[in-house]
Amino acid sequence: MKVIYSVIAPIYNEIDNISSLVSRVKEVMNSSGESWELILVDDGSTDGSTEKIRELAQNDKTVRPVIFARNFGHQVAITAGWDYARGDAIVIIDADLQDPPEIILELSKKWKEGYEVVYAVRGEREGESWFKKFTAAMFYRLIHWITDVEIPVDTGDFRLMDRKVVNVLKQMKERHRFPRGMSAWVGFKQIGVEYKRAARTAGVTKYPFSKMLKLALNAITGFSYFPLQMATYFGFFSAGLSVLAIPVVIYMRIMGSGAFTGQATTLIAVLFFGGVQLISLGVLGEYIGRLYDEAKGRPLYVVREAPED
């Protein structure tokens, strides 16, 4: 049977949401009148989600489980979904139901109009603290500003992509992944659909500030040389500052000023420039560490169980 839609939902400790997710996706996709499948990628869950996914798959052939051997991360789970998807249109959706499955039909309309990537834009965000909203807004705008590709602001991984787009994405095997940036990088005809992001129905967020920071680092190092350029800018700034300071210090010494005498000034200058050097080394280390990970050539994920085509 030819599959038109593949819906991918990464799962990590979402035992309280899985049944509702499957039920709502099933209702929405059945109303489309097209053939579809739901790929649940279990990312090393420990709360019983794995057993629940197996149970749902046994009772419903549209549910296809991909079970990881351990936790590999949300971005890698999305990649596994791409690898196992059989549809002409591939949808990525979160399992916590903050991304309403009903929006899939709106994404599908744009796809049928000829758009190859249809991303969902978060117009409103319910049930989130001001800190979460503020840091998310800053994250999206920072990434948009410093990366080398036009990544739309206020968009997550919730999107629909044409098969030809996913075939290109499957060739991109970098380990530190940022799917929303990758889908922007490949190009094709893209458009956004605004929606209201719902509050989480159950469970806790899997993206605290620490993981958002790690995701930001992956986005920046994967799509921008800006941090490396900043190290260069600091170097030129420091050198320029020292060149300008030399005649000033000479003049003040001749005039008998004691402003630049003593070890305190020297210590402050050494600490400042030492800090700049350490930051620069840290930035270089981030890029070199990623090169090391790529050079090892390990698989992105290990699957314990997967459906047969």
Q: In this predicted model, what pLDDT tens digit does every residue of 220-272 receive, in sequence order?
A: 666 666 776 676 777 677 666 666 766 766 666 666 665 555 555 666 667 67
Instruction: Place 289 in a pLDDT band, splitting at 50, 70 and 90.
Output: confident
Per-residue pLDDT for 91 more than 60? Answer: yes
Instruction: Report pTM.
Output: 0.69
Residue 37: its H or E element:
strand 36-42
Instruction: Place 45 in a pLDDT band, splitting at 50, 70 and 90.
Output: confident
Per-residue pLDDT at 264: 55
CA distance 115 to 191: 7
- What does the buried/exposed string (b/e) look like for 55-73 if buried means 16 or more CB atoms within 10 Å of the residue's CB? ebbeeeebbbbbbbeebbb
Per-residue pLDDT at 7: 92
Sheet containing strand 36-42, strands side by side = 190-197, 117-125, 155-162, 89-92, 5-11, 36-42, 63-68, 303-305
The two tokens of residue 45 are 């869950």
Per-residue pLDDT at 60: 83
Mean of pLDDT over the chain: 78
Sequence-distant (6+) residues with CB within 8 A of 230 are 283
The partner residues of 120 in beta bridges, in order of sequence, read: 193
